[in-house]
Chain A
Amino acid sequence: MFTTLLGGELVGKMDGRKQTYKGGTLRYPRTRIVLFVLVPALAAMILTIAGTDWILLPAVRDMLMRQKKEALQKLTSSAIGILRHYQDQAKHQVLTVEEAKIKAADEIRSIRYSRDKKNYFWIIDLGAMCIVNPYARHLEGRMIADLKGGHGKKFIQEFVQVARNHGEGFVEYYWQWKDKPGQIEKKLSHLRLFQPWGWIIGTGLYPKDVEKDLDLVSDRMTGLFMDISLFLVLIVILVSGLAVRLERRRQKSLAALDAANRELQKLDKMKDGLIRDVSHELKTPLAKQVMQLEMLRDLAMRLGCNDEGKRLFDVMEGTITRQERIVSNLLELSRLEQGGRKYRKDPVRLDDLVREVIDDYRQALDAHGFSIELALEQVEIIGDKEMLWHVVSNLVNNAIKFRRKDIKPILSIRIKMTNTDYECRTLLSIKDNGIGIEQSETQRVFDKFYQASASMEGTGVGLSICKRIIEDLGGKIWIQSKGKNKGATVIIDLQTCKKPQEI
């Protein structure tokens, strides 16, 4: 295709890979959005809830328990303060010891704390006699060492033991409610020994109450997380909507790109067709011009044409020949691009072919004073001799056409073979010391209608044809030049070859 003329194919490059729109109805990637957006969001929510239950709530429980225990310690400590106050009064003989004990017991008995004002202090002595118990006053003054809690634990004895050994401490036991026989509840008490009187004062709490507090915290947290989750879901929906809209827009632009591409291809085809048709139509009038010019020259000669007239005939013949060559080349390329040419696969001695081309151009080369250097290895390749001839002659012709007029022109042709275990390649290089090209132009010279300058000779199609032929034969062709007036080397890399002696 004549891609270079119209700018070629538009390609949508997204995500770094080539995407072409397949046509038909637009597909919205809903499933993909569910997978990539909704699933992670749900996973995050589940993880949050699980994290709350397994990590956060136990941590809060521990913290609450610790706080409660600290509170219990402070409470017993302040109760001890009350006892100490009365003991001081006895010490200063404001009260007798007995009076002080009674007053202290009364005051302790009357203390209630906590939210529902039900928590209380109890006092026993080291002999396990009950001194104060506001909810079981019938026990006061009695020995209660054998009092059993739930599961048969004699916790009073444990109180005494802890007080004797450590002075203070926590004791955990199960409390059998007297008024509710079926209800046994875990209780945690802190107790402290008041040494001067041998009293043990304590107060307890039900861990169940902590659970209730915890439930409250848990409820609040769940509420909060539900709010967050709801917010998250809303955001996910919003983002998904946005993604769908973006994707839809992307699909639309891909479709537009594709349509533009097809339009370009259509235009390209039309242009190819146009070039082919125009070239074809031009062929006949051109041929007729050649014929008529011949007749005209003959007529002029018979009428006695002078040298000026002969020169004009020569110029006209030259221009018509050039026109004819352009049109022929265009048609040739057009055919090659249509795949109209069936390449032959014959053994071709490349070195012989090069010599034949040089012989063919000998007259022109000599006329311009070319010095010719050949370094040709004997190589037989499988290819199309006529087409290869076309390529080599085109390149030799270029060397003549684009020679420098101020120095002695040199044409140097080499054939070099590399034969490894893996591949067999033949490099054919055609080097001149002519006008060369800018390095930046080395890619473009193979473009159709490329010409270094408008005034340059040549059809601008020759190298395109060469490239097409070499590529059709499975090879590569490129040009090297160090710049203007520094010559140029065209290198042809043909992939398959055989040495003659191996045939």
Chain B
Amino acid sequence: MKKNILVIEDDPDIQEYLDFLFKDRNLGLTFTSSGEEALEEIQKGSRFDLLLLDLVLPGMQGEEFLDKALEVFEHEPPVILTSVDGERAKRQASRKEVAGIFVKGNHGDELVKMTLDVLGSHQE
């Protein structure tokens, strides 16, 4: 079954990059540009297997989104945090739902590998 990833990322250039990374991987990527937009997407009832969450967002910040989003989900999907600021992401990483951190600027293969690993170990 095709896995679905909800991407919360406000930068269109990075959205394009993520699209580039995951094409030909048989994954469904849904792009949203803010926490608010992502919450709407979740409330539509779509099922997501992974959240790819940018920490720095316009309006609602990544941390706040995590708190709200996880109340809405029936099954909590694993989350990969993306950030240019590794330290800030690490502070969030102690939360049990955070499955990984991708520091922007590292090679994209790292993110692809991490994503596939997380999806693979969360077969439901």
Contacts of B13 in A (CB 8 A): 288, 291-292
Contact B84 A291 (CB under 8 A): no
Nearest opposing residue in chain A for B105, CB measure? A287
Interface of A (DSSP majority class): helix
Contact B11 A288 (CB under 8 A): yes
CA distance in complex: A324, B107 (Å): 12
Contact A291 B85 (CB under 8 A): no
CB < 8 Å neighbour of B85 from A280, A290, A292, A298: A280
Contact A295 B17 (CB under 8 A): yes
Contact B20 A324 (CB under 8 A): no
Contact A291 B87 (CB under 8 A): no
Contacts of A284 in B (CB 8 A): 11, 84, 104
Contact A324 B108 (CB under 8 A): no
CA distance in complex: A35, B17 (Å): 80
CA distance in complex: A5, B32 (Å): 44
CA distance in complex: A335, B85 (Å): 12
CA distance in complex: A330, B38 (Å): 34
Q: How many inter-chain contacts with C-beta < 8 Å in the A-B complex?
A: 44
Contacts of B107 in A (CB 8 A): 290, 294
Contact B108 A287 (CB under 8 A): no
CA distance in complex: A292, B107 (Å): 11
The answer to whether A286 and B105 touch (CB under 8 A), given A291-B13, A291-B17, is yes
**A–B complex contacts, Cβ < 8 Å, 21 sampled:** A280-B84, A283-B84, A283-B85, A284-B11, A284-B84, A284-B104, A287-B104, A287-B105, A288-B11, A288-B104, A290-B104, A290-B105, A290-B106, A291-B14, A294-B17, A294-B20, A294-B107, A295-B17, A324-B105, A331-B85, A335-B87
CA distance in complex: A294, B19 (Å): 13
- State the Cβ distance, A341 to closest chain B Cβ, in Å: 8
- State the Cβ distance, A343 to closest chain B Cβ, in Å: 14
Scan residues 1-29 of chain B and give those whose CB is less than 8 A from a CB of chain A.
11, 13-14, 16-17, 20
CA distance in complex: A487, B86 (Å): 34
- State the Cβ distance, A300 to closest chain B Cβ, in Å: 13
- State the Cβ distance, B17 to closest chain A Cβ, in Å: 4
Contacts of A294 in B (CB 8 A): 17, 20, 107-108
CA distance in complex: A48, B84 (Å): 84
CB < 8 Å neighbour of B108 from A283, A291, A328, A332: A291
Interface string of A182-215 (1 = CB under 8 A from B): 0000000000000000000000000000000000
Nearest opposing residue in chain B for A340, CB measure? B87
Scan residues 315-374 of chain A and give those whose CB is less than 8 A from a CB of chain B.
324, 328, 331-332, 335
